[in-house]
Chain A
Amino acid sequence: MSEKNERQLRIVGFLCNWCSYGGADTAGVCRFKQPPLLRIIRIPCTGRMDPLFVVKALAQGADGVLVSGCHPKDCHYAVGNFYARRRLELVKRFLPFVGLDPRRFHYTWVSASEGQRWQEVVTEFSAVIQELGPNPGIGADTPMETAGQAASAFA
C-alpha cells in the first residue's frame, strides 16, 4: 500500500481544442502555476468524448479524469457541448454502478481566455485527487452508500 501511495498520481484531461486547450495554453503563457498531475489529450470537441474513454481511463488506473470544453452555447461546432453535457452527466451517475468512484471524474467548461479559471480548475481537482489517493481500480473503494445515492438520483 505504501508503495502505491508513493506512485505519482495521474489525471487524464480531455480538452476541447477550441476552448479549454487554449485556456490551458493561456494559463501557461501567464505562468499560472498548477500541480503536475494532469496529462492532457487534445480532442476536437467535447462532443467527441465517448463515455468509454472515461470508464477506460479509470478502469486502467488513472487517478482522475477531467473533461473540459466550451461554455454551453459557445461551441465551435454549435451543439457539440450540449451532447457532451448530457452524456458526461450520465457517465458521472453511472460510475458507481461499475464500481468506480464518481469523485474521480469531473467535467467543466473553460474558455480560451480563462487562464486563471483553468488554474483554479486544475488546482481544485488535483487537490481532490490527492485527497482520494491512488485509484485502487474497479470495485475496490466505492462505498455502497455512494452507489445507493446515485441509484436513487436516477430513480
Chain B
Amino acid sequence: MRIGVFVCQCGTNIAGTVDTRAVAQRALDYPDVVFATDYMYTCSEPGQQEIQNAIAEHRLQGVVVAACSPRMHEPTFRRAVEKAGLNRYMFEMANIREHVSWIGQDRAANTLKAMELVRMAVEKLRRNEPLFASEVPINKRVLVIGGGVAGIQAALDCADAGLDVVLVEREQSIGGKMAKLDKTFPTIDCSSCILGPKMVDVAQKENITLHAYSEVESVSGYIGNFTVKIRKKATYVDWDACTGCGLCMEKCPSKKTVDRFNEALGVTTAIQIPFPQAIPKKARIQKDACRYFTTGKCKVCQKICPTGAVHYDMEDREVVEEVGAIIVATGYDLFDPAPYGEYGAGRYPDVITGIQFERILSASGPFGGHVKRPSDGKEPKDIVFVACVGSRDKSVDRPYCSGICCMYIAKQAILARDHLPGVNCYVFYMDIRSPGKNYDEFVRRAIEEYGVQYIRGRVGKIYPNGDRMVVQGADTLLGAQVEVEADLVVLATGVESSRGAKELAEKLRISYDQYGFYMESHPKLRPVETNTAGVYLAGACQGPKDIPASVAQGSAAAAKVLALFARDTIATDPQVAGVLESACIGCGKCLSVCPFGAIQWKTLRDGSRKADVLETVCQGCGLCNATCPPKAIQLRHFTDDQILAELDALCA
C-alpha cells in the first residue's frame, strides 16, 4: 500500500507544543509511507486540495491525517479523499490535538506521543479495506417528545412541511411551562395569547397525532426506522366522547384537590381540565383525589356527563408508532428550594417560588390576577425577590447559571408595580445577567422607570416577624448587613433537568451530563443533533434556555429532520460485522449477545448452520466480535487484526 501522512499544525494549536515537522519526517520511516508533510490548516480548502494533489501525484492508496479529534473532522477528510478517487474508509486520523497538544506543555514528550499515534494510525490503515454503504428506505414520520413551546414549534414546522408528526406529552395538556406564565420578558407579551394559537394549531393540524397524558415506554430501531412504544395513561374519561364542557367539574364533590397547574396555590376538583386553554380540552380523573376511587361511592361525574364519557374501569393502553426521526423537547423542571432551610420555603406560606408568583399574577390564576399573598389574602406592600436560588451554588450541586431568573425577576417586579402601584419591590442579586436582545434595557427599565430597588448580595436568612417576613442579607456594595421587611418573598428558583430525563435518555440511547441535561453533538456547531443518528434536541432539555432560544431550537431541529427526509433512502454505515463462514462453528453465541437482533442463522448446502449478519440492522458495536470463540465474526474497520496492529505499533 502507498500511504501519505499529513500532519496538521492547526495554526499554533498543535504546532505550539508538537514539532509537526519532526512528526512528518519520522512518519517516512514507517512501513508503506511514501509521502509525509505538515501543513498549517489541513482542514482548510487548500489543505484538502494538498491531500488530493498528493493522492494523484504520489499514487496514494491510503491517507493518514494527524490533526484534531476524528469526532470533529473525520467526515471532512473522508469526503476529501473520496473526491480524489479513494474509498472513504482508506483513511485514518491520529488525534494529536485534543489528546496531545492541548493537554501537555512538554514539547519533547508531546512530539514523541504524536509520532506514536501516527504510527498506530499507519499500522491500522495498512489493514483497512474499502467499505461500501448500502441504502435503506426512510419512514418519513417524525416523533416529537414533549409538548412545551420547543416541541410545539418543532411539530408545527414539520407538519407545515407536510410530514406526519406524532407528538407525545406527559401531562394532560400541551403548553409546558410557558402555559403557566402570565407575561413574557422583555416585551410583556401575554404568554397564553402568543402560545394559545400555536396550541390550537397543533390540535387542528390533520397530520399531527397528539398523545397527551402519555409517556414513551421504549424505543428500538435506528435512524430512518424507529419503533416507539407509547403508554397512554388511563384518564378514566373517553377523550373521543368528552367535549370539554366542564359540567363534571362543576358537580364533582371532591373540591379540595391540590391544583398542580396553579402550583398548589389553589384547589380544584378530582375530575379536572387543568386550565381553560388546555389542548386537548378534555377531562381527567385524578385517582387519588376521586371519591369513587377512594371510597367506592359517588359516580356523580358519570351520571352528569352528557356524552357518557366517564369510565372508571379504564386502563393504561399501549400504542406503537413507527417513525424515521425523533425530536426530544422534554424541557426542564424548577429547583425545589427545600435545601435552603434558612429561606423557609414550604414552612412560611408567604415565601413562594417564582413560578408560584407567576400564577398569582395570571388572570387565570388562583386569585384571578389580583396580587395577594397566600397566607391571608392581603395585598402586599413590600415584596422581596431573591435571585440565584438553586443557581450558581455549588453547595446544592447547581453551579451553573439558569439564565432566565434575572430576567423573570425584573419582569415580575415590573408586573407587581403595574398591578399595585404602591408596592415596594426589592431584588437581592449576585450579578445581573441579561445578554439578550433588549434584555438589559428591560432590567434598566425595572430599576429606573419602575423604581425596583436592586441590592447586590446574598440573603442569609428569612424569618417571620408578626405577620411580616424579615429578609436578612448582605449589601456588598455598601459593605453592610441589611434587613428588609416584606409581606411576600419570591425565591427565583433555578432551572434543572426534567424529572425522568435520564430514564428517557437511556431509552433513546443519547447521553446526558452530570445534571441530566442532554448532550448535543457539538457544543457550537451541532447544537440540536445528538450522537445518536436520527435523534435531535430542542429547548431546555439540553440546558437552561429562554423562550426565544427554545423556539429557535424547535425550528432548527425540524429543519434537521426535513433535511434528513429530503431523501428517500439513507446510506447505512458499512462499519458492520461480517462472518468468515469457513471459521464459523455455528455456536450461536453472537446471536444471543447481539442487542439488535442483527444476526440470524443461514444454512449452507452441506447442511451446516452459520451466522449471518443483516447489514442494515447491525449497528457496529462489536459485541459479537469480542464474544465469538473462533473469531469468525469480525467488525469491519475495527477487526482484531487492526486493533492488535495498533497495539503492536505501540508496544513492540
Contacts and interface: CB of A to CB of B under 8 A. Distances in A.
A48 B103 contact: no
Contacts of B644: 53, 56
Given A32-B103, A77-B623, A113-B519, A39 B113 contact: yes
Given A18-B531, A34-B103, A36-B106, A50 B626 contact: yes
Contact of B635 (A42, A48, A53): A48
Contacts of A49: 626
Contact of B643 (A10, A34, A53, A75): A53
Given A29-B98, A44-B622, A62-B650, A77 B103 contact: no
Given A29-B102, A40-B95, A60-B652, A83 B623 contact: yes
A77 B577 CA distance: 14
Interface in B99-131: 99-100, 102-106, 109-110, 112-113, 116-117, 120
Nearest to A65: B647
A111 interface: yes
Interface in B488-524: 505-506, 509, 511-514, 519
B511 A111 contact: yes
A74 B650 CA distance: 30
B8 to A, nearest CB: 14
Contacts of A66: none
A41 to B, nearest CB: 5
B192 interface: no
B525 to A, nearest CB: 12
A34 to B, nearest CB: 5
A57 B643 CA distance: 11
Interface string A20-42: 01101101110111111011111
A79 B595 CA distance: 7
B625 A10 contact: no
Best-buried of B113, B532, B621, B635 by chain A (most CB within 10 Å) = B621
Interface in B431-463: none
B601 to A, nearest CB: 21
Interface in A65-87: 70, 73-80, 83, 87
Label chain A's interface by main secondary structure: loop
A53 B106 CA distance: 29
B619 interface: yes
Interface residues of B, number: 54
Contacts of A112: 511, 519, 531
Nearest to B640: A50
A25 B635 contact: no
A48 B638 contact: yes
Contacts of B95: 25, 40
Indicate the size class of the contact surface on chain A. Answer: 35 or more
B1 interface: no
A39 B638 contact: no
Contacts of B640: 50, 52
Nearest to B102: A28
A13 to B, nearest CB: 9
Contact of A43 (B511, B622, B648): B622
B317 interface: no
Contact of A77 (B72, B98, B514, B621): B621
A36 B113 contact: yes
A35 B102 CA distance: 12
Nearest to A70: B511
A60 B511 CA distance: 35
A21 B104 contact: no
A48 B97 CA distance: 25
Contact of A41 (B97, B100, B635, B646): B646
A41 B509 contact: no
Given A44-B620, A47-B626, A48-B635, A76 B103 contact: no
A15 to B, nearest CB: 10
Interface in B281-312: none
A45 B621 contact: yes
Contacts of A74: 505-506, 511-512
Nearest to A75: B509
Nearest to B503: A73
A24 B575 contact: no
Contacts of A147: none
B188 interface: no
Contact of B623 (A22, A39, A80): A80
B99 A77 contact: no
Contacts of A41: 120, 643, 646-647
Nearest to A63: B651
Contacts of A24: 98-99
A25 B71 contact: yes
B593 interface: yes
A114 B514 contact: yes
Given A74-B505, A74-B511, A36 B619 contact: no
A48 B116 CA distance: 23
Q: Name, among A34, A50, A52, A62, the residue most crowded by chain B CB atoms within 10 Å (CB to CB).
A: A50
Contacts of B69: 21, 25, 28
B464 interface: no
Contacts of B650: 10, 12, 39, 62
Contacts of B72: 25
Nearest to A19: B511
B70 interface: yes
Q: Which of A24, A39, A87 has the most CB of B within 10 A?
A: A39
A62 B509 contact: no
A111 B513 contact: yes
B104 A43 contact: no
A60 B638 contact: no
A50 B509 CA distance: 23
A50 B102 CA distance: 30
A50 B652 contact: no
B110 A36 contact: yes
Contacts of B635: 44, 48
Nearest to B506: A73
B102 A43 contact: no
A48 B622 contact: yes
Interface string B79-106: 0000000000000000101111011111
10 contacts: A24-B98, A40-B99, A53-B643, A57-B647, A57-B651, A73-B506, A77-B619, A83-B623, A113-B511, A114-B514
Interface of A: 8, 10, 12, 17-19, 21-22, 24-25, 27-29, 31-36, 38-45, 47-50, 52-53, 56-57, 60-62, 70, 73-80, 83, 87, 111-114
Given A22-B531, A48-B621, A53-B647, 14 more contacts: A25-B71, A34-B104, A36-B104, A36-B106, A39-B113, A41-B120, A44-B620, A44-B621, A47-B623, A50-B640, A57-B651, A78-B509, A111-B519, A112-B531
Interface of B: 69-72, 95, 97-100, 102-106, 109-110, 112-113, 116-117, 120, 505-506, 509, 511-514, 519, 531-532, 575, 593, 595-596, 619-623, 625-627, 635, 638, 640, 643-644, 646-648, 650-652
